[in-house]
Structure 1
Amino acid sequence: MLAVYTVPVAVLDESTSWWPFALGALGFVWLLGTDRIALVRGFGRHFGGDGRPAAASLAAAGRLLGLIGVAVAVALPFLLPAALPAHRPWEAGAGTSGRGDAGSVDLLALLSGELNRPQRVDLLEVTNVDDAAPGNLRLAALERLTSQGFEPLPPGAAGPVAAGLPRPAWGPQVQAGAHRADIRIGERFHTGTLPVYPWPTGVRGVDGSWLFDPRTQMVYSGTRTTAGLRYTVEYVRPEVTPEQLRRAPAVDPDDPALRDVLSVPPNLVVQSLLPGLLAGRATELDRVAAIKDFFAPANHFVYDTTTGPATGGAAITDFLQNRRGFCTQYAAAFAWLLRAAGIPARVAIGFAQPAAGAGRTTTLTNHDLHAWTEVYFPGYGWLPFDATPPAATAAPSPAPTAPVSATAAPGPSAAAVAPTGPGAAPAGPAAPPWALSGLLLALLAAPALTRAHTRRRRRRTREAWAELLDTMTDYRIGPGGADTPRTVAGRLSGLGGRAADGVRALQRAEEHARYAARPLPAGDPAGDDLFAAVRAVRSGLARLATRRARLRAAVLPPSVLRRWRARLTLSTPSPSAGRRGTRSSAGPGSSSSGSAAS
């Protein structure tokens, strides 16, 4: 009961009103006192010496102490308001100045879930009063990058929007157009961050609990949500040209204000791509454009919303290698490559909005939620760039201005990342066709040859269980990391004949190897030839699989590709690593268990 009462109060960022606190506290004190009194009654009624029931005396004392404790807890914030500035229960609408709601929700997971929801839900309406091409409507910025992915930093020095918003710190060379938009949010969209256009200069129609963080350009509240709000956003948008951005000053890597947006964990795949992508690119804009063009559909990148919201090192490596993901992976991988190239970048979350024309009202739904990348140019601030294919979103790719988008320097393709610019070194003599063909055949045959070598080695070391797990992985029915031998065998329950007998033999041998005090005796059916059982299972899986699945298992076995990918990302090997494998019994005294393949 205490947990039910305290957990909601403990996890909320905002203050709590005094009356639910007092009501809950009194209820808990009453339950506690009743329980203790019932225990005391079991010892007898008259041990106090004055003839009164001891339980009655304890009840009176408990009630008095409970009332005093609740009164002190409720009154203390009133008596010491200066010591408790963030929790003043008498100010029901007061927000906190140090924290917002952006970090309490996983925005990337929310974005993935909404995009994969089959039904379309109307979330808000936007009327762009005087802006024919407003660009994306922004919710939040994710600036911290670790090996686990992008996440928001705590808000900086924020101030209430009612007091006015600061003007952007752009250089004098920047021309900006002022615009206005009216926004009406539906009751079904409730979040602690307010959708606004960058850079907002005024927000009218919201109360004093909404704060503005100049560092991230976020408007957030710790006590209010957006559900049902109607407000007006006034904003300015810089009008810059590619020539201006190419003349922008160089980024100072020692600038403390850029430390968080330049920090990047090591990633071998990212580091291997950058030299070819950046060769011959002299300015920051040219390097940004080259990396952006790497994600073009012509380089076999495919938009797929089923890949999940992860932006960590393993997810980015998988995206850069398999080239399949949705806006989250595009934005995060783009920003990751930019940071590795020494360019400040962050991920923005919001709505992709089509150009509806000035004065027109646009309805935005859950399927319009989007993620893109923002790049910092000294003197020009944060400008949006989107690596996601325009056909995958409801709006065109955002750019600082139309001229920048149209004339940005093209980047090299993934198929040929050798230098092609004016400053590139001359190409050497072309290799003979037969050498290229032989190299291509060797690359295609490498996974199959590696799989065959692993199978022969495991036969020598009697690692039958590890071989079974990799065989299942090759046919895309790989077990989970915590599956028991019986659970693994259950996944193969559809096999019949010799394959079913092989599954039972392997299950029994592995269970014996893990849990029994002695190895299987010689001559036991489960210990005679476990690799014959593995072959029977492999044959059974091949009979049930499609021709495409059989070809993939033979030519590009997933167990090998997964292990290679794990080594590239310096993470743990395949799930079979670290398991105890099964060895066939060769005779009396031989063990039926052995270490699994690394």
Structure 2
Amino acid sequence: TVAGVLGLTRLFDDASFLLPVLAFAVAGHVLAIGCRRLGMGPGRTAALATAGLAGALSLILLPETTRFGIPTATTLSQAGQELSDALVAFRDVVAPAPVVPGFVLAAAIAVWTIAVVADTAAFRSGARVEAVVPAATLFIFGAALGAPGLRLPLTALFLAALLFHWLTQRLLTHACTPNRMTSDTGGGPRSLLRSGAVLGAGAVVAAVVVGPFLPGAEAGAVIPWRAGERDGSGSRVTVSPLVDIRSRIVDQSDVEVFTVAADARSYWRLTSLEIFDGRIWSSRGQYQKVDGRLPDSSADDLAATQTAVQDYEIAALASIWLPGAYLAVGIAGTDARFDVDSGSLLTEEETASGLTYRVESELRSLDAEELDQVASTAPAAVADTYTALPPDFSPAVIAEAARITDGSSTQYERARRLQDHFRDGAFTYDLSIAPGHGGDDLERFLFETRRGYCEQFAGAFAAMARAVGLPARVAVGFTPGEQDAEGLFHVRGLNAHAWPEVFLSGYGWVAFEPTPGRGIPDAEAYTGIPEQQATPADPTTATTRPPTEATTVPTSVPAGQQAPTTVPGDIPGGGADDPGTLSPWLARVALVVLVPVAALGSWWAALEGLRRRRRSRRRDAATTPAERVLVTWAEVGEALATLGSAPRSWETPIEYAQRAGGTTGVDHRLLNALAGVTTAAGYGPTGVDAEVADRAARAGADVERHIEGELDRTTKLRAALDPRPLLPDRARRLDVRTTT
């Protein structure tokens, strides 16, 4: 199983998924082994494995959705949303893909299930060969869809693990079925292990060394299942950069993504997302191959511009987009493509990491007075694409956008009112907010929590702008970063950012800044906000910087065409980490998995064992019909207590039955009859006979089944984890007899 998990590294552009998924694989095997050793049957093992998986997923991958560590309805909803987003991405994305949360969630569920099924097949069903099928399926999945890198070493590792499994199973069979007719003169298990290891190592080496040179080893697939192999257009598909942002800000805040030497401060823009389906933002663009001067993508004949040159050195940017100040007009030093509509640059390499290049941009100088003269019109193509909202878009959000912009006479004034609405002090920048940007999440952000990070602010602004007729989109990139003494900007993960852009006729796409604590360089004249960005010490705070000046030089040429697509990335995302770095999964695994999950599972198993043992011992100790009736009444009392109607020490059985029947909904006639029999058994001079005891036991079982059906999942979970009913004092209160 572990080798199969390692094989999944070919699917992703970094290894940040590895630690949590490996933890699920190991925990699944440990749980299966523990259940087997405790003598639990397959049914109880499956139930415990399911409960353990739910708890582990909640505590490790979705901790912010739990209540005191217990899964809630929000946990289920968030898990479903992440899996749905992962399915959308899976249909289009090609490896190596960013590590989006839904992929990690799906992998964790898969490996946990594989671990339990493999253990069951190997040790319960005796199907020791078939036991490797689940892990082999996982490995083949990664091999079939993965990128070419690490193909040979990962294949060798899995083959070695496979042969090791079969060898150990053979040794186990040998040890468990000794042949009395022969002796171990040939060395027995030791000889088998030695010869098996030699043969296995030889087979793995032969496969790795000879396999790549066999005829057809490098041939194309007979059945082209990859989108890139079926489509000759050369199109590229990738996950939206929005899924990366929260991960960069939180998990990789100190990781240096790139450096840039520039003669002007700016937001270093990656791309923009124009498609909004009510839940997620994505894009679809046509990219021309370029080498030098870029095609003219400006729509701003009226804006004054200054030329700015930037020299980039990318360290760890798992993205196909190239950072560049908007609006880029030239590029040199690397093969690239350019989309006129979004003004985005795309690398021809798998990712931008390791590239060095130069970008020339035309930076615009804008002020409020000139923008306030913009006509309230836009080209039809722009209006159709950039004001589109889904048919079921929230009426409450539309009404709120209309309220905020009510009385505005110009497009610019509407945009400013929306921006200032988010910056008037009522909203708070908060990285701890739970992911989610669907209709309900947008309403919750706007009307309830009023807390979020840049994706929520940018996405909410853009959606509300469209609701009042402003063409808008979401841009993704980085704030300027920290400038050293030599003038070099050091851009870290904490500088990852998203902001909205609004189309104003005559000036093209104009950036606004609704996120508290952030401010666009050299834009105070029209945004009213000085430049601000996160500090290295704390990505949730901001420093204000004075604007700086700029000058520059151009470059040259274009060429062919290509269409990359961003797979929808959930706006609040959390996902791909950069190559060579790991998010803080180690701390989560140590604190959240190994201790709480194991403790929770052990606690449940221990309590369940104690309950069964106490019930069994109590029933075994009841040797007379009267004692059996008293045991039945005690068990009914424990069941009623889970509905909030525990017995009181001073109540008679009849009094308790009347009170419990009125508050729990259990048939009061049945309870009263049981109470009468219990009174006779505990206080009557002759007790009861065996037939009466049998009827009481059946009635008690009926009551318990009814109560079980009345309990909701939360109450059942609390009852399963609550040790108080097992305490001695509680047991004594259920005894209806008095002592003298």
**Smaller-chain TM-score range?**
0.5 to 0.7
Distance change in 2, residues 1:253/1:170 (3 Å): closer
Residues 256/386 of structure 1: CA separation in 2 closer, same or farther (3 Å cut): closer
Residue in structure 1 matched with residue 692 of structure 2 by the alignment? none
CA contact (8 A) 1:142 1:152 kept: yes
SS state at 1:314 partner: helix
1:235 offset after TM fit, Å?
Answer: 0.8
Separation (CA, whole Å) in 2 of partners of 1:10 and 1:165: 38
Aligned to 1:306, what secondary structure does the other structure show? Answer: coil
2:268 maps to 1:137: yes
- Structure 1 residues 525 and 223, CA, compared in 2 at 3 Å: closer, same or farther? farther
Structure with bigger RCO (C-alpha 8 Å, 6+ apart): 2
TM-superposed deviation, 1:307? 0.6
Relative to 1, partners in 2 of residues 1:250 and 1:307: Cα closer, same or farther, differing over 3 Å?
A: same
1:403 to 525, 530, 536: 525
User: Which of 296, 299, 305 is 1:170 aligned to?
Assistant: 299
Pairwise CA RMSD: 5.1
Under a length normalisation based on structure 1, what TM-score does the superposition of the two structures give? Answer: 0.54
Q: Tell me the secondary structure at the aligned position of residue 587 of structure 1.
A: helix
Which string of whole-angstrom CA distances, capped at 9 and with x for unpartnered residues, describes residues 16-43 of structure 1?
59x969x979x99xx99xx9xxxxxxxx
Q: Which residue in 2 is equivalent to 1:433?
A: none
Shift of 1:177: 1.6
CA drift of 1:119 comes to 6.0
Residue equivalent to 1:101: 238
Q: CA deviation at 1:284?
A: 0.6
Q: Which amino acid aligns with 1:101?
A: T
Structure 1 pair 383–296 and aligned structure 2 pair: CA distance change class (3 A): same
Counterparts in 2 of 1:285 and 1:249: CA distance versus 1, 3 Å: same
Does the CA contact (< 8 Å) of 1:261 and 1:344 recur in 2?
yes
Rounded to whole Å, the distance in 2 between the matches of 1:503 and 1:271 is: 54
Q: Determine which of 320, 339, 345 is the counterpart of 1:219.
A: 345
Question: Over residues 440-468 of structure 1, what are the superposed CA-to-partner deviations in whole Å (9 max), with x where a residue is unaligned?
Answer: xxxxxxxxxxxxxxxxxxxxxxxxxxxxx
* Cα distance in 1 between the residues matched to 2:385 and 2:529: 30
State percent identity of aligned pairs.
24
- 3-state DSSP class of the match of 2:258? strand
Change (3 A) 1:523 1:383: farther
SS in 2 for 1:135: coil
- The Cα shift of 1:585 comes to 4.1
Q: 1:9, CA displacement in angstroms?
A: 5.6
Partner of 2:249: 115
Conserved 8 A contact 2:643-2:711: no
Provide the C-alpha distance between the structure 1 equivalents of 2:467 and 2:658, rounded to a whole number of angstroms: 53
Residue in 1 aligned with 2:413? 286
Q: Deviations over 1:270-308 (max 9, x none)?
A: 12312321221011101111111111243x211111114
Q: Distance in 1 between matches of 2:428 and 2:511?
A: 22
Q: Deviation digits for residues 106-141 of structure 1, max 9, x if unmatched?
A: x33421122223862222212113x2xx32111232
Amino acid in structure 1 at the alignment position of 2:244: L
Tell me by how many angstroms 1:530 deviates: 8.3
Structure 2 residue 320 is matched with structure 1 residue 192: yes
The within-5 A match list for 1:9-88 is 10-11=144-145, 71=215, 74-75=218-219, 86-87=228-229
1:203 counterpart = 2:331: yes
Task: Determine if the alignment matches structure 1 residue 152 to structure 2 residue 282.
Answer: yes
How far, CA to CA, are the matches of 2:418 and 2:428 in structure 1?
Answer: 17
Preserved contact between residue 294 and residue 338 of structure 2 (Cα < 8 Å): yes
Relative to the length of structure 2, the TM-score reads: 0.45
Describe the shift of the 1:275–1:225 C-alpha distance in structure 2 as closer, same or farther (beyond 3 A): closer
Determine which of 446, 460, 463 is the counterpart of 1:320: 446
Q: Corresponding residue for 2:364?
A: 238
Residues 73 and 594 (structure 1), Cα distance of their counterparts in 2 relative to 1, 3 Å cut: same
Given residue 291 of structure 2, which amino acid in structure 1 is its aligned partner? A
CA distance in structure 2 between the aligned counterparts of 1:531 and 1:356, rounded to whole angstroms: 73
Matched residue SS, 1:248: coil
The answer to whether the Cα contact below 8 Å between 1:99 and 1:222 also exists between their aligned partners in 2 is: no
Task: Give the distance between the partners of 2:364 and 2:406, measured in 1 at CA.
Answer: 29
- The alpha-carbon distance between structure 1 residues 507 and 280, as it changes in their structure 2 partners (threshold 3 A), is same
Q: Distance in 2 between matches of 1:280 and 1:74?
A: 67
* CA displacement, residues 319-376 of structure 1 (integer Å, 9 cap, x when unaligned): 1122111212111111121111121212222111269599721211111111211112
- Quote how far apart the aligned CAs of 1:242 are: 2.8
- The answer for the alignment partner of 1:373 in structure 2 is 500
Pick closer, same or farther for the CA change 1:370–1:503 going to 2, 3 Å: farther
Q: Secondary structure at the match of 1:262?
A: coil
Which amino acid in 2 is paired with 1:151?
W
Which amino acid is 1:225 matched to?
T
2:257 paired with 1:128? no
Whole-angstrom distance in 2 between the partners of 1:200 and 1:584: 73
Please tell me the residue identity of whatever aligns with 1:204: A
Gaps of 5+ in 1: 36-62, 89-94, 409-482, 491-500, 511-521, 533-581
SS in 2 for 1:286: helix
Could you tell me how far 1:240 is from its partner in structure 2?
Answer: 3.3
Take 1:508 and 1:402, find their aligned partners in 2: how far apart are those partners? 62
- Distance of 1:194 and 1:202 partners within structure 2: 12
1:70-92 Cα offsets, whole Å, 9 max, x none, are 85684458x999xx99549xxxx
Name the amino acid aligned to 2:329: T
Asked if the contact 1:309–1:328 (Cα under 8 Å) also holds between the matched residues in 2, the reply is no
How far apart are the structure 1 equivalents of 2:136 and 2:301? 59
Report the Cα offset of residue 386 of structure 1: 0.8
Judge conservation of contact 1:177–1:236 (CA < 8 Å) in 2: yes
1:255 aligns with 2:381: yes
Cα separation, 2, equivalents of 1:223 and 1:99: 11
Partner of 1:181: 310
- The 1:101/1:370 distance shift into structure 2, 3 A limit, reads same
Residues 73/247 of structure 1: CA separation in 2 closer, same or farther (3 Å cut): farther
What SS is found at the alignment partner of 1:177? strand
1:100–1:222 contact (8 Å) kept in structure 2: no
Measured at CA, do residues 293 and 178 of structure 1 come closer, stay the same or move farther in structure 2, by a change above 3 Å? same
Asked if the contact 2:331/2:357 (under 8 Å) is kept, the reply is yes
CA contact (8 A) 2:294 2:328 kept: yes
How far 1:198 sits from its partner (Å)?
1.1
Q: How many residues were matched structurally?
A: 394
**Counterparts of 1:388 and 1:305 in 2: how far apart (Å)?**
12
Q: Cα distance 1:254–1:233, how it changes in 2: closer, same or farther (>3 A)?
A: closer
> Contact 1:100 / 1:221 at 8 angstroms: preserved in 2?
no
What is the distance in 1 between the residues matched to 2:529 and 2:353? 40
Secondary structure at 1:203's aligned position in 2?
strand
Provide the secondary structure at the position in 2 that maps to 1:379: coil
8 Å CA contact 2:331–2:360 kept in 1: the answer is yes
Q: Point out the more displaced range, 211-220 or 323-332.
A: 211-220
Structure 1 residues 269 and 183, CA gap change in structure 2 (3 angstroms): same
- What is the SS of the residue equivalent to 2:291? helix
Structure 2: 5+ residue stretches without partners = 1-134, 167-206, 531-599, 608-634, 645-652, 672-702, 714-740
Contact 2:657 2:668 in 1 (8 A): no
Structure 2 counterpart SS, 1:255: helix
Distance 2:450 2:142 in 1: 42
